[in-house]
């Protein structure tokens, strides 16, 4: 019964097709690779920043000992 409520908010295949078609219409085929590159670059920067933060925490933990 609970799984029915969880699935109620999840978009189905038809919804994803409509979203992809809308993105293609709005941005066109040439802009999508640029958009994906930008998103990939943002994700890479985020991962690098989190790794940098973890190394800073490790360094401060090692200094405290």
What pLDDT digit, counting tens, does each position of 8-54 carry?
677 789 998 999 899 888 888 888 888 889 999 999 999 999 988 88
pLDDT of residue 3: 61
Structural domain boundaries, residue 18: 2-64
pLDDT of residue 56: 74
Read off the tokens for 17: 């097709």
Q: 24 with 32: CB under 8 angstroms?
A: yes
pLDDT of residue 27: 83
Provide the domain count of the chain: 1
Give the angle 45-33-12 at the CA atoms, nearest 5°.
90
pLDDT band of 63, cuts 50, 70, 90:
low
Q: Is the pLDDT of residue 62 over 90?
A: no
């Amino acid at each position: 019964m609970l799984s029915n409520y969880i699935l109620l908010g999840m978009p189905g295949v038809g919804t994803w097709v409509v979203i992809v078609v809308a993105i293609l219409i709005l941005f066109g085929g040439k802009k999508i690779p640029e958009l994906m590159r930008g998103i990939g670059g943002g994700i890479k920067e985020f991962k690098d920043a989190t790794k940098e933060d973890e190394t800073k925490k490790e360094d401060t933990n090692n200094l405290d000992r």
